A and B are shown apart, each in its own frame.
Chain A
Amino acid sequence: MPVARDRLSRSVDIAALFAARRQSSIVGVYQDQPELDMALFGSPRPNAATRTQTVGVGTITARGRGGLGTPRGRGSRTPLGRENIPPPGSARRRRGRGSNSALPAWYPRTPLRDVTAVVRAIERRRERLGGSDGLEIRSPMPQVRMNLDSSEATPIAHLEHSNRIMSPKPSTAVKGCPSTIGKVPKILQHITNQASGDPDSLTPQKKLLNSIDTVEKVVMEELRKLKRTPSAKKAEREKRVRTLMSMR
């Protein structure tokens, strides 16, 4: 950026400056800096082979001795060096994009802008969704995008709101006799239909607890019924006989 030569002090808009810089760097000029990329990132670029920079290239390949022979491929920005390589088996949850940023890709980036509220909201949401369902942060975001200019508070309100809508039905997996498993979905449907009468008075947690109790009762009933069948009784008798015989 050309520097103004007068001595007037002008207030600098960091955000605009950064956005403009990012635009130009995305559009331009990667082939001018093969040395830099080689030195820092090690990803092979077509021009690099023709360069004969002694220190830069030699150093990098020597330092990559920790089994780094495979080229990382273009666009990968992992710097070389033994300490930059994660240990094998460490879970690296990539979010499907190149950068490992805490903020979603659509969020406008401004250097050193206070993003405390946003990051906290994202963390809270991630905790709430949990690891079981793989819901991405993406889905409710389009709503948030429109309100970004106003304040930081509204995105959070939207996130919370959409969360409540999307909270999953109490889909507890019941472990029990194999024969009862087929019936469980029917039982659950029955329960949720019953509960739909007064949804507002109970929180999702209470609803879940109630349904768990109901499911337990029903399953225990089923189990008892099964035990009373003649084949079950016969099997039990045989088992007892076997135990006694083994003790002789």
Chain B
Amino acid sequence: MDAGSMNTSSSLKAQSHFPLQQQFLPRMTSKENNKPPAPVELIPQDYSLHHKAKSTKPRRHIPQSSERTLDAPDIVDDFYLNLLDWGSSNVLAIALGNTIYLWDASDGSTSELVTVDEEDGPVTSVNWAPDGRHIAIGLNNSHVQLWDSTSNRQLRTLSGGHRSRVGSLAWNNHILTTGGMDGQIINNDQLASGGNDNLVHIWDRSTTLSNSATQWLHRLEDHTSAVKALAWCPFQGNLLATGGGGGDRSIKFWNTHTGACLNSIDTGSQVCALLWNKNERELLSSHGFTQNQLAVWKYPSMVKMAELNGHTSRVLYMAQSPDGCTIATAAGDETLRFWNVFGVPEMAAKPAIKAKPEPFFHLNRIR
């Protein structure tokens, strides 16, 4: 039927490429030992916490309840929207109905960025640019607005691209990719997209610019429900984690070079969002029907380390603080909760002096 054409690109994740942070595939075996990993097990210099000896690391306690709860009235309880994002300037943006609020995590102050007109709204997606200052907003009327949060001014409106609401936005350096309910993706560049058609597409610049019949690099068909949860692994290049909706309930891992599925685990409930721990090898998943839980998994063993409850409705929206330690989740129960899942900021701030430098780190690498 026309079900195929109605595919919602409900989720987009762009993998940003910065020079000097190209990643080799780390050797998995060395991770299991207690000695400091060999230099070949490579993680870019930002993530060199792995290099400190595991035997001296204190056990981390994951609190079972949220640290803080904020009121989030009028939040839209829709699986296909992305209403929460935490910018690199440590400001959280959340869309409640037609209004975008900014919450400064450093002092807890709230401000309103913009309220769109009733005919244009509600806001359907929110995404900070990497600079932490500019923010892109997708609207139900298919427009995308670009705002400067420091001056509270609107810079641009992108219209005419999509024909239906813009449910998903992703920045890759200065390129903004937008996904619409009409199934279009515009300005794709090294992108993973998940849709209501149960498919995940990997788009690569080389193939999209070619004249081949299929513009995608890989089409991943294993999920049996809509795919909204997507997350690129920060410590292993070209590793993508995807999560399936209510009928699928699984988390799958993919090598986006080859398109192969590396692992699949059943979580028992609808997977709404996925986030990787920037400092440890862990994955966090947020769920909807029916348990509304957060789950922390060890990677690659996929042993469940913790299960966190608190939300009384699907945990649809999740974002990570810039320091990587705190997770913010929002749900249809109209609360915005903060969880110290990935450790306390003091632990993460340890200097990386002990890191053994990788060989050839001063040179650009070819992947």
- Please report A residues at the B interface, Cβ cutoff 8 Å: 1, 12, 14, 17-18, 21, 29, 32-33, 35-36, 39-40, 55-56, 59, 62-63, 65, 77-79, 81-87, 90-91, 99-103, 109-116, 119-120
* Count, A-B residue pairs, CB within 8 A: 146
6 A-B pairs with the lowest CB-CB distances in the bound complex, closest first? A83-B79, A109-B73, A101-B334, A79-B78, A112-B110, A90-B290
Query: B residues engaging A (CB < 8 A)?
Result: 1-3, 6, 8, 65-73, 76-80, 94, 96, 99, 101, 103, 108, 110-112, 115, 118-119, 121-122, 140, 163-165, 181-182, 196, 225-226, 228, 245-246, 270, 288-290, 312-313, 332-336
Q: Flag if A40 contacts B140 (CB, 8 Å).
A: yes
B111 surroundings in chain A (CB, below 8 A): 12, 14
A101: chain B residues within 8 A (beta carbon):
73, 333-335
Give CA–CA (A161, B125) in the complex, Å: 44
- In the complex, what residue of chain A is closest to B124 when comparing beta carbons? A40
Known contacts: A100-B313, A112-B336, A115-B335. The answer to whether A17 contacts B112 by CB under 8 A is: yes
Report if A65-B335 is in contact (Cβ < 8 Å); known contacts: A32-B118, A79-B77, A111-B73. Answer: no
Question: Does B112 contact A14, Cβ atoms closer than 8 Å?
Answer: yes
Residues on A with beta carbons closer than 8 Å to the beta carbon of B80: 79, 81, 83-84
Residue from A33, A39, A83 in contact with B228 in the complex, judged by beta carbons closer than 8 Å = A83
Q: Do most interface residues of chain A lie in helix, strand or loop, or is the interface mixed?
A: loop
A18 to B71, alpha carbons, bound, how many Å? 12
A84 to chain B: closest residue by CB: B79
A163 to B8, CA, bound (A): 49
* A59 contacts B182, C-beta separation under 8 Å: yes
Tell whether, in the assembled complex, residue B1 and residue A112 are in contact, meaning their CB atoms are under 8 Å apart. Answer: no
Given A36-B121, A102-B312, A103-B334, does the pair A81, B69 have CB atoms closer than 8 Å? no
Q: Is the CB of B101 within 8 A of A112?
A: yes
Among the interface residues A77, A110, A116, which one has the most CB atoms of the partner chain B within 10 A?
Answer: A116
Question: Are the CB atoms of A36 and B140 closer together than 8 Å?
Answer: yes
Chain A residues with CB below 8 A from B313, complex form: 100
Name A18's closest neighbour in chain B (CB-CB). B73
CB-CB under 8 A from B72, the residues of chain A are 111-112
Complex CA distance for A122 and B228, rounded to whole angstroms: 32
For the complex, give the distance between the alpha carbons of A212 and B128 in Å. 61
Pairwise interchain contact A112-B289, C-beta atoms closer than 8 A? no
Q: Which residue of B lies closest to A79 (CB)?
A: B78
How far, in whole Å, are A82 and B228 apart by their CA atoms in the complex?
12
Known: A99-B334, A102-B333, A112-B70. 19 other contacts (CB 8 A): A40-B78, A55-B163, A56-B164, A62-B6, A79-B77, A81-B78, A81-B80, A82-B245, A83-B80, A83-B228, A83-B246, A84-B80, A91-B290, A101-B73, A109-B71, A111-B99, A113-B110, A114-B108, A119-B335
A-B contact pairs, 27 of them (CB 8 A): A14-B110, A14-B112, A21-B115, A29-B118, A33-B119, A36-B118, A36-B140, A39-B165, A40-B165, A55-B164, A59-B181, A62-B1, A63-B6, A63-B196, A82-B196, A83-B226, A87-B246, A100-B77, A101-B334, A103-B71, A110-B73, A111-B73, A112-B103, A113-B71, A114-B108, A115-B71, A116-B68
Contacts of B71 in A (CB 8 A): 103, 109-115
A32-B118 Cα distance, complex, nearest whole Å: 9
Chain A residues contacting B79 (CB-CB under 8 Å) are 81, 83-84
Cβ contacts under 8 Å, A99 to chain B: 334
A33 — nearest CB in chain B belongs to which residue?
B118
> Which A residues are in CB contact (< 8 Å) with B101?
14, 111-112
Return the chain B residue nearest A99 by Cβ. Answer: B334
| Cα–Cα distance between A40 and B124 once the two chains are bound (Å) | 10
* Residues of A with C-beta under 8 A to B140: 36, 39-40
In the complex, which residues of chain A have a beta carbon less than 8 angstroms from the beta carbon of B312? 100, 102
A32-B119 CB under 8 A given contacts A55-B182, A102-B312: yes
**Closest chain B residue to A35, Cβ basis:** B119
The smallest C-beta distance from A231 to any residue of chain B, in angstroms, reads 53
- List residues of chain B with CB within 8 A of the CB of A84: 77-80
Instruction: Give the chain B neighbours of A79 by CB distance below 8 A.
Output: 76-78, 80
Contacts of A62 in B (CB 8 A): 1-3, 6
